Chain A
């Protein structure tokens, strides 16, 4: 039985359809990432699970029970807002104790739990401070501690790292993952950063325009994208997509290699006209096009270990292993079975 299940969930705001028929099943202890561009309905979906927004249609189940019509307080769900939403008039200790107070936990037991939650995130020394006296990273920890303190059944996080600088963000990501593994709490994590999604998620749900376009492990989503949107949204640089007659042909930049670098197996050769080369230390990016498909920019990414000399403004012979080629329908962009291809 899935711990968290969402069936045919739909939310309209007037004419805007923010979430358009979403189904999710999440197992106990899973870290599920909702990934999608801005405005695709991630926050709205999360708010419906939390009970802050009532769905226009569909059901939300927790542990098999239908909670669609229950108010947030009855759901035993914790949520961390993008803004952290700390209570400015309370100290850190009172912020963390606040959910416990609602449950009627008090006295030494409450203090005990506050200490435990603060300890998990290393903020015991901040307990007497107020939110305005904290740095961004410290605020985030307080928000996480407050969310975790009453040991919720599901943990919802709405872009909790988006306000931290790059270095802090990597550290916080690490902390968060370590913590999630230790506690094993079912989490739904919203982000529009695909690197974050790939690194953290047990599974990723890629959303667009209120719909889930694909749900799967990071490997599945990366190597077998369900459609051209997912193919381009995940991976940096994104998958190369070429209009190839009856279908769309796709391959990842790191699989597009000069002839002779990788031998054996079944390889499909291409001519590649290189416009520009970017040298980035650990790899080289080659920008150009395939003759006959001048309108589409193609990118090749060569690791530093590939030392074949290549020149700008020259045509070179490249190839892709045939099992790394992906095929998509021309209208709709859905994945289709492998085709035979004449280059």
Chain B
């Protein structure tokens, strides 16, 4: 083929068309995935405002309001159940567990990753093995410990038990993050005039940000959705979390308070989604920084 101008023009046209098709395909699939992801959430949002007649009638369009929307089920949630208490309990347990997890797993992971400990490697593996024990097995001894300490029916039971799951896994996770930060950078900071602690807080921690966010997300969501321990240790309404309170108090026998259930879920999901969104940029930025020479 020769490079005469008609050929080049044709090729250029072809490339342009292919490029345009590619963009169309990209947007179509992005829209498709968005709809897929949004669907359950939007259904929940619609249902929480639906009147019972509207919801239960088979002839009605399930995706839209056939009767005027109502706030009565949300009112029910706040007036007739301890929903706010559940939310408060979940927040307290989640925040304390997250703080405890970070306080223990950061130093543990640092020591395992950095200091030349004789048993470091093996301890790391041992910690990982804890992860392989199913929580249902640990359930019985845990119950005995909680009863022995006399902290059943308090939030302390959960604050004590959840870190036994989160600390080992978080340590393992953070160990990988610490190892990915070159030792050189830390030592350079020490030569540049900082103590080891100063070097860690000024140079290592900013680079650990994605790892720390991952641990916060993990520890908080685990505390928020854990069910078995929460159900068996705390049976009084005042010490339930959302995970146990909502299903136990809004499903009575075979009566489901669907709209209130949906409200309970949506009302906690929205603030969490907003918080994650705020962190998303920095979370991604953390992965794309070039540390040493390329």
Q: In which size bucket is the chain B interface?
A: 20 to 34
Q: Give the contact stretch, choosing among A96-104, A248-256, A281-289, A292-300.
A: A96-104
Instruction: Say whether B190 contacts A71, CB under 8 Å.
Output: yes
Choose among A85, A102, A146 the residue with the greatest number of B CB atoms under 10 Å from its CB.
A85
| Other-chain contact of B190, A73, A78, A87, A131 (Cβ < 8 Å) | A73
Instruction: Say whether B185 contacts A87, CB under 8 Å.
Output: yes
Instruction: Say whether B290 contacts A88, CB under 8 Å.
Output: yes
A132/B192 contact (C-beta < 8 A), A88-B289, A89-B206 known = no
Which residues of A are interface residues toward B (Cβ below 8 A)?
Answer: 50-52, 71-73, 77-79, 81, 83-89, 98-99, 102-103, 130-132, 136, 139, 146, 150, 163
Instruction: Say whether A85 contacts B292, CB under 8 Å.
Output: yes
Q: How far is the CA of A46 from the CA of B203 in the complex (A)?
A: 22
Which residues of B are interface residues toward A (Cβ below 8 A)?
Answer: 182, 184-185, 187-195, 198, 203, 206-207, 289-294
| Other-chain contact of B195, A71, A86, A89, A131 (Cβ < 8 Å) | A71
26 interchain pairs, CB-CB under 8 A: A52-B187, A52-B191, A71-B195, A72-B187, A72-B190, A73-B191, A73-B194, A73-B195, A78-B192, A79-B191, A83-B182, A85-B182, A85-B184, A86-B292, A87-B189, A88-B289, A88-B290, A88-B291, A88-B292, A89-B207, A98-B189, A130-B289, A132-B294, A136-B293, A146-B192, A163-B293
Residues on the A chain within 8 Å of B184, using CB = 81, 83, 85
Q: How far is the CA of A163 from the CA of B292 in the complex (A)?
A: 12
Sort A-B residue pairs by CB-CB distance and give the 6 closest, nearest first: A102-B193, A132-B290, A85-B184, A85-B188, A99-B192, A88-B289
Choose among A77, A131, A136 the residue with the greatest number of B CB atoms under 10 Å from its CB.
A131
Q: How far is the CA of A81 from the CA of B292 in the complex (A)?
A: 10
Question: In the assembled complex, how far is the CB of residue B118 from the closest CB belonging to chain A, in whole angstroms?
Answer: 10
Residues on the B chain within 8 Å of A136, using CB = 293-294
Residues on the B chain within 8 Å of A130, using CB = 289-290
Question: In the assembled complex, how far is the CB of residue A167 from the closest CB belonging to chain B, in whole angstroms?
Answer: 17
Which chain B residue shows the least CB distance to A80? B188
Question: In the assembled complex, how far is the CB of residue A147 from the closest CB belonging to chain B, in whole angstroms?
Answer: 9
Question: In the assembled complex, how far is the CB of residue B235 from the closest CB belonging to chain A, in whole angstroms?
Answer: 48
Residues on the B chain within 8 Å of A77, using CB = 191
